[in-house]
A and B are shown apart, each in its own frame.
Chain A
Amino acid sequence: MPTQIISGVVLVALAGIYWFQADVIPKSPMSGSVGADGLPKLLAFALGGLSLLLIAQGVLSRSSSPPADIFEETEADRVTERRGHLMAAALLVVTILYTVLLPYVGYTVAMGLLLITVGVFYNRRLTLGIGMFAVIGAVVFHLIFITLLGVRMPEGIWPDLFAALHTSRP
């Protein structure tokens, strides 16, 4: 089934879910004649209609183009596409890990880890240059955002850890 038809079906489902979510928006006497659910329902309706048009367009273009020899090429493309999606998903996992670790390891350490991991991901191997880049980069980001701009970034477990070590010292 071509991508366009699948996209259309998924979007119709999304329109349905969105409609039902809009339907449970609490009613308020202050909402006026349109209501808080007015525009969302209109959008759900519009998305549903447009998605059906997309499906129809996909079906029509499918019926008017039956080149059998193209299928092999499309299959090869699909393998490449699938691999590409996996790579993108892997990068996404790396960035999610950064976000999960941030409150525990603190901004500067998490930044260093992010820079080295993403650097290795794109470079395909770990080099001394990437290691140095990660260390210097983390320090530069710390200087810009924490020292210069005064943004309160997560400090992680370090202050508590150092405080505990300091108090346990005889």
Chain B
Amino acid sequence: MTNLYYVWEGMTSPSILLAAVAGVLWGMCGGALPGISTAIAMSLVLPFTYGMEPSAALVLLGAIYIGSEYGGSIPAILIRTPASGSSAATVVDGYAMQCQGRGGEALGLSLVGGTIGGFVGLLLLSVLTQQLSKVALWFTPPAYFALGILGISVIASLSEGQVIKGLIAGVLGLMVATIGTDPVSGVMRFTFGFPELMGGVPVIIVMMGVFAVTELLMQARERDYPEDITERSSRLKLPSLKKLWQLRVPQIIAIIFGTIEGLTPGGGGSIAAFISYNEAKRWSKEPEKFGKGSEEGVIAPETANNVVALTALIPTLSFGIPGTATAAILLAALLIHGLHPGPNLFSAHPDVVYQLFGGLFVANLGMFVFGLVILSPIIWLVNRPRAYLRAGIFGLIFSGIYSVNGSEFDLYLVLAIGVIGYLLRALRFPFLPFVLAVVLGYMIEANYRRSLLITNGDHMVFFQNPISLGLLTISAIFILHPLYRQFRQRRDGSQVSRPQES
């Protein structure tokens, strides 16, 4: 009962309310600006939290996190520029909808999906934190390796009809991921004398290069610029309750994978978004619409992102395991205010923890309200003449990329990745496997080698660890199922054609 009172206090205290509202608004703006990652948006306000009450400080940072996760989907849908890895999966169908003049509808789906995901994630965070937190400790290097393989098994589905090209794109992505310092020995690989490559190719540069720069180069090929069909759709369109009910399966899938991903430190939202997208397609009654503007293809990754944003706080609060840069900033804020994460946090400082939950509830609500207010003007802005829009996107890409490391080298790098993306698209290679492989490459290699270091090179470790075995089995099913379906379709097709021939 006392805990409920703290939650109520978190929802009504003026300082926490202000922190929630300001945080979510700043997070949405920061998340929508490519290059200004969630971590940067949070770290910029971290100095201001010193003088704040612990609850308000944590709510401010948590609200930025929530807002930023959603904000990344806005440029992903409208201008094919994912501001973070977790919004990369949204680009595929979100931008396709935008091209069909349904950008307002896609943003509405993303807003509602994100809000639902946020509330479900918050519910899990507040009710199950102490129980679910144990899951974080089950994940050892073999399990992380298997999780990466599970993520990469999505390639099979993302390359339907052109599996060889998809696998090649995936291998090329893994090659890009090997650039930089070796995760185990610290040896330099493929840096060609450039010290800027020692840390590897940042994922954000790959995202911006493959999606945004490539798209702008592809658009440069157009001889004429027809009247923009998106002129007809300049308003945000929220999905009806009936529509949301029809889209319940992808949302349930997203909640499941978002929760699993959030509980595993270091996973990030990208894997959850991609797996949710893939599974939504697999379970969809209309899988052929994916990649061509499917509503399920937008709501699944967007719901997953926001579930991860909240459930990722579970291992941070329970064990103080900062799996991501974002979680590390939250952890820093906890420590600044003399709060030590762990199971004792709930008994020693229940006021702070439950006020945080209350504040995050307000932040999630605020995200929905701000979305309603700001999205229509943003859609209007994006529907300005294409020459202005494209020039503005270039400005945004270069400014955002330079902001990451303050390095001109990164600008050349994003252009080089853009050229790779251009070649992939021009030669009709699927580019999503490339992106996914870059995102997961480091995680897979680092944990594969760590596992083998522990066992002196014995590969059986991946089959002895129950989580690893389970995830690898699911990966095998993910890869084999589409192949079996393809085989069955061919067999059925040949059986149908035989009587006609006779």
- Residue numbers of A with Cβ under 8 A of B are 3, 7, 11, 18, 21-22, 25-26, 28, 30-34, 36-40, 43, 46-47, 50-51, 53-54, 57, 80-81, 83-85, 87-88, 90-92, 95-96, 98-99, 102-103, 107, 111, 114-116, 118-123, 129-130, 133-134, 137, 141, 144-145, 149-154
Contact = CB atoms under 8 A, between A and B. Distances in A.
If over half of B's interface residues share one DSSP class (helix, strand or loop), that class is named, otherwise mixed; here it is helix
B448 A87 contact: no
Given A21-B190, A36-B187, A122 B220 contact: yes
Given A32-B185, A33-B453, A137-B392, 11 more contacts: A31-B187, A34-B449, A36-B184, A46-B171, A85-B426, A87-B220, A98-B411, A118-B387, A118-B391, A122-B386, A122-B390
In the A-B complex, the 6 residue pairs with the smallest Cβ-Cβ separation, listed nearest first, are A84-B221, A33-B457, A123-B387, A122-B387, A28-B185, A118-B391
B173 to A, nearest CB: 10
Contacts of A83: 221, 223
A40 B452 contact: no
Interface string B370-401: 00000000000000011110111011001100
B367 to A, nearest CB: 21
B216 to A, nearest CB: 7
Given A85-B221, A88-B422, A90-B220, A25 B189 contact: yes
B403 A40 contact: no
Nearest to A40: B178
A21 B190 CA distance: 7
Given A50-B171, A122-B391, A133-B388, A149 B412 contact: no
- Among A91, A95, A111, A152, the most chain B Cβ lie within 10 Å of the Cβ of A95
B42 to A, nearest CB: 13
Contacts of A28: 182, 185-187
A43 B412 contact: no
Interface in B312-367: none
Interface residues of B, number: 59
A151 B387 contact: no
B9 interface: no
Contacts, number: 173
Contacts of A30: 184-186
Interface stretch (B63-71, B106-114, B161-169, B463-471): B161-169
B187 A91 contact: no
Contacts of A107: 399, 402
A39 B391 CA distance: 40
Given A18-B175, A111-B399, A114-B391, A102 B184 contact: no
A29 B189 CA distance: 16
Contact of B168 (A25, A50, A137, A141): A50
Contact of A88 (B189, B217, B453, B457): B217
Contacts of B184: 30-32, 36
Contact of B217 (A92, A115, A151, A153): A92
Contacts of B452: 32-34
B53 interface: no
B201 to A, nearest CB: 15
Interface in B56-107: none
Interface in B447-465: 448-449, 452-453, 456-457
B220 A36 contact: no
Contacts of A150: 44
A102 B164 contact: no
Contact of B189 (A11, A36, A145): A36
B427 interface: yes
A149 B392 contact: no
Contacts of B456: 33
Contacts of B216: 91
B220 A130 contact: no
A73 B294 CA distance: 33
A111 B187 CA distance: 38
A142 B439 CA distance: 31
A92 B415 contact: yes
Given A46-B171, A115-B392, A145 B408 contact: no
B48 interface: no
Contact of A54 (B165, B190, B225): B165
Contacts of A3: 427
A52 to B, nearest CB: 10
B406 interface: yes
Interface in B255-299: none
B203 interface: no
A60 B182 CA distance: 40
A81 to B, nearest CB: 8
